[in-house]
A = this chain, B = another copy of it.
Amino acid sequence: MEFSSKLLEKAVQEMAQLPGIGKRTALRLVLHLLKQPKEQTAFLSQALTEMREDVKSCQNCHNISDAEVCEICSNAKRDHEIICVVEDIRDVMAIENTRQFRGIYHVLGGKISPIDGIGPSQLTIGSLVEKVKSGKINELIFALSSTMEGDTTNFYIYRQIKDYPVITSTIARGIAVGDELEYADEVTLGRSILQRIPFENSFKNN
């Protein structure tokens, strides 16, 4: 691409560093900003800079937070003895949206994946194991995605805590609510039969 402006070129180059944003899309976004009032670009730049500079990782659960300890961990009404283990802060947001979980979280920051060069030491597994060893945790719910990497990570953690008095569970796998059985993959359908639950439990909340 031939740019008539170095300033434009640099903005497009930086924008195109973002995942899934190619040069053409970056150009479209930057030209859009040029057509908008200057404030919009100023607000965007400021919001990104402030976020990157000031956002913190919760000391306790590693969730993203504005304070040293996140709102969930500092909420006395939540059950601090139940920890839901997730990969990413997006999983925290997804589970919070359901309003079905009153415990706290532990964000691993990824899954063990040798192919991507991610080993256990790059994740927050150490501090999770310490929490369990402290004896204050009653239940650990594994809520990782059910991929090979997710299962590997679950087992790696499980091996380190299985001798401590903690209940371990994993979120239910099955046919999604509203889905047609005939289109479900056989592994999921198979699991949903093997792991069937008493009918009376299926229309109870909590």
A interface, CB within 8 angstroms of B:
1-8, 10-11, 13-15, 17-21, 25, 27-34, 38, 40-55, 58, 63-66, 70-72, 88-90, 92-93, 96-97
Contacts and interface: CB of A to CB of B under 8 A. Distances in A.
A93 B4 contact: yes
Of listed A4, A19, A55, A90, residue having the most chain B CB within 10 A:
A4
Contact of A30 (B14, B42, B48, B63): B48
A98 to B, nearest CB: 10
Contacts of A42: 49, 52
Contacts of A97: 1-2
Contacts of A72: 4
A38 B53 contact: yes
Contacts of A29: 18-21
Contact of A52 (B6, B34, B51, B89): B34
Contacts of A6: 66
A3 B93 CA distance: 7
Contact of A19 (B19, B28, B45): B28
B30 A70 contact: no
Given A31-B89, A93-B3, A97-B2, A51 B8 contact: yes
A3 B63 CA distance: 10
A16 to B, nearest CB: 10
Contact of A44 (B15, B54, B55, B88): B15
Contacts of A65: 4-5
Contacts of A3: 93
Given A4-B65, A51-B30, A14 B70 contact: no
